[in-house]
Amino acid sequence: MGCAGDGAPGPVGERDPHPLLPGHRAHEHRRRVTRVARGLVLALAAWLVAFAVHTAEPAGYDFIALYATARLVATGHGGEVTDPAAQFAMEHAILSERTVFLFDPNVPALALLMAPLGALPYTPAYAAMLTLGVAALLGAAALLAPLAAAEQRARLLPFALLAPPSLIALVEGQTTPFVLLALAAALRAPPFWSGALLGATALRPQLLPVFAIVALTRRGTAAGFAAALVAVATLSLAVAGVDGLARYPLLVSLAAEQLRPGELGLPALARRGLGPDAGLNAALTLAAAAIAAVVIVRRSRDVRSRTVDASPWSLLTAPHALLHDGVVAYPAIAAAATGTRATALWVGSSVVVALVQQAGVPLAPLWLLALALGPRRAIRP
């Protein structure tokens, strides 16, 4: 008699049958407790590593920019969250070591959502953001597990929490773990809420266009997506006002023109050879998005499959995406984990490519392209 989990894995979304014998039920309970304990240990390790690295040199990481805009809102200066001069002045006032300004393209609504953190001192605020980020990665890993073959799921948990993109996102205090959690939840949600969760990618606006393509292919998801965008726009207007919101497109365009080490997108890769012209950047981004739309729509027919397929394409088409944004590709990596060899190949190569990319060799766009076009498990609609 076989135990629960024996046999060939079924389509994604199916669960193993319940064990029939009391001994099997006890064994399954112990396995579940072990999995939870293992996840908590990995989460604690990720938290400790990120906190130690960040607090050694806090002025060098992105969280200071997020915290500065949140503090502007918390101190009653929400109209200045899209003003680069006000942003930088607040950053420098918080940490005098911060001497370089990097344009923050996040929507003003994010500053409003983070305002409670802006009311805290810097270090406790980062600790809270870090805790939420680790929880988001842990939750996303649980939601994405059914995408992988059953015997590969335990192997993907350490990757989800400790892979270079995950640790970089946590050290930076970035929002990408929450974007990943929204994508993972969208795979389990009914159409309207799935679309609304896809709209949450507005937290990283450069990733939004490809997920918009996915959401707009079905009426239910399109309605949820539109509702999410209306909510984000309303909150942004409430915090920044008309004048502040009018400055936001310029802030986004300036951020999109940045060409920093570790860029993941094909437009950025092309610009390294063709030059930093803004018009060229826009043309390359539109061309990449058009290619992504054709590939995603032709490859699969349902929204869940298209969401998984869109995860690497959202990075490839972005005019500005860095290594911490790489966590957004985790749904595609999970779906590519069809067996031991495939899991070792994709997980191992992703770590190597991330380290090489961090060293300045732009291999990540080519790796993401291979992931986007490679085989994956069938996903049940």
Residue written as token pair 């135990």? 3
Say which amino acid occupies 51. F
pLDDT of amino acid 252: 79
Taking a C-beta distance cutoff of 8 angstroms, is the pair 153, 343 a contact? Answer: no
Alpha-carbon distance of 227 to 207, in angstroms, equals 18
Rounded to whole angstroms, the Cα distance separating 235 from 212 reads 20
CA separation for the pair 257, 250 (Å, rounded)? 11
Q: What does the alpha-carbon distance between residue 324 and residue 252 come to, in Å, rounded to a whole number?
A: 18
pLDDT tens series, the chain, 381 aa: 444 444 444 455 445 555 555 556 666 667 777 888 888 999 999 999 999 999 999 988 999 999 999 999 999 999 999 998 898 899 989 998 887 777 677 899 999 999 999 999 999 999 999 999 999 999 999 999 999 998 998 889 999 999 999 999 999 999 999 999 999 999 999 999 999 999 999 888 889 999 999 999 999 999 999 999 999 999 999 999 999 888 888 887 777 677 777 788 888 788 777 766 667 777 888 888 899 999 999 988 899 999 999 999 999 998 888 899 999 999 999 999 999 999 999 999 999 999 999 888 889 999 999 999 988 887 766
Neighbouring-strand partners of residue 12: 379
Considering only the C-alpha atoms of the chain, give the largest distance between any 2 of them, rounded to a whole number of Å: 70
Q: Which of 119, 369, 170 is nearest to 264 (CA)?
A: 369
Q: Output the pLDDT for position 132.
A: 98
pLDDT, residue 8, reads: 46
Distance from the first to the final alpha carbon of the chain? 31
- Do 160 and 39 contact (CB within 8 A), yes or no? no
Which two structure tokens, joined as six digits, stand for 213? 């393509």
Q: Which two tokens stand for residue 174?
A: 């970035």
For residue 34, what are its two tokens? Answer: 């072990």
* 8 Å CB contact between 309 and 124: no
Nearest CA among 202, 192, 205 for reference residue 232: 202
pLDDT value, residue 24? 61
Give the pLDDT confidence score for residue 27 in this predicted structure: 63
Are 327 and 368 spatial neighbours (Cβ–Cβ below 8 Å)? no
Q: What is the DSSP string of 84-126?
A: HHHHHHHHHHH-TT----------HHHHHHTHHHHTS-HHHHH
Long-range contacts of 182-188 (CB under 8 A, 24+ apart): 183/140, 183/211, 183/307, 183/311, 183/328, 183/331, 184/139, 184/140, 184/143, 184/144, 184/331, 185/143, 186/307, 187/143, 187/144, 187/147, 187/304, 187/307, 187/308, 187/331, 187/379, 188/143
C-alpha to C-alpha distances, 7 to 17, 150, 211, nearest whole angstrom: 11, 10, 35
Beta bridge partners of 379: 12
Q: Is 338 helix (H, G, I), strand (E, B) or coil?
A: coil
Can you list the alpha helix ranges (DSSP code H) found in the chain? Answer: 22-56, 63-74, 84-94, 108-113, 115-118, 122-144, 153-162, 164-172, 176-186, 191-199, 208-215, 219-256, 266-274, 278-299, 303-316, 330-336, 340-358, 364-373
183 neighbors 334 (Cβ within 8 angstroms): no
| Nearest-angstrom CA–CA distance, 200 and 185 | 11
